[in-house]
Amino acid sequence: MRYRPGQEVRVAARPHVGHHRTPAYLKGKTGTVMRVHPSFLNPESRANGKDGLPKQPLYFVSFQQSDIWPEYRGDPADRLYVDVFEHWLDDAG
């Protein structure tokens, strides 16, 4: 897999037509890999009846809430953790 815990990654901001599991609010945002999950079948191709191979690594990525929401009301330490597939991430380091 391409990314390691502690690595800064940016979520791709590309528009996507069709089923995908990267929320709009996250696109273009930068976070930190906290955990590398196992790899899973690609939901985008599975959604079209394909076999979903090759499996894609999945990452547990942590974001600072105030980076995501301009008007975030909360503690500066608050975080948002999201599972993101490798093909939606770029190195931000």
Partner 1 sequence: MSSYGHDHENHEHPHESLTDSGEPAAAARVRALVDLLVEKGVVESQDVREQIDWLVSRSPGDGARLVARAWVDPEFKQRLLADARAAALELGLDPGPSPVVVALENTETVHHMVVCTLCSCYPRALLGPPPDWYKDFPYRSRAVADPRGVLDEFGVHLDEGVELRVVDSTADIRYLVIPRRPAGTEALREEELAALVTRDSMIGVSIPAPSPIAA
Partner 2 sequence: MERAVHDRGGWPTDAPIDRSEHELDDWEILMDSLLGALEKRSAVNVDEFRRGIESMSPSAYEAATYYERWLYSVETILTEKGVLTPGELDARLAK
Q: Which is nearer to partner 2, 5 or 53 (CB)?
A: 53
Q: Which residues contact 26 (CB under 8 A, 6 or more apart)?
A: 11, 63, 68, 82, 84
For the chain, what is the largest distance between any 2 Cα atoms, rounded to a whole number of angstroms?
Answer: 43
The residues binding partner 1 (CB under 8 A) are 21-23, 25, 37-38, 40, 43, 58, 60, 65, 68-69, 72-75, 77-85
Residues that bind partner 2 (CB under 8 A): 13, 15, 18-19, 23-28, 43-44, 46-49, 52, 68-69
End-to-end CA distance of the chain: 16
Shortest reach from residue 45's CB to partner 1, in Å? 14
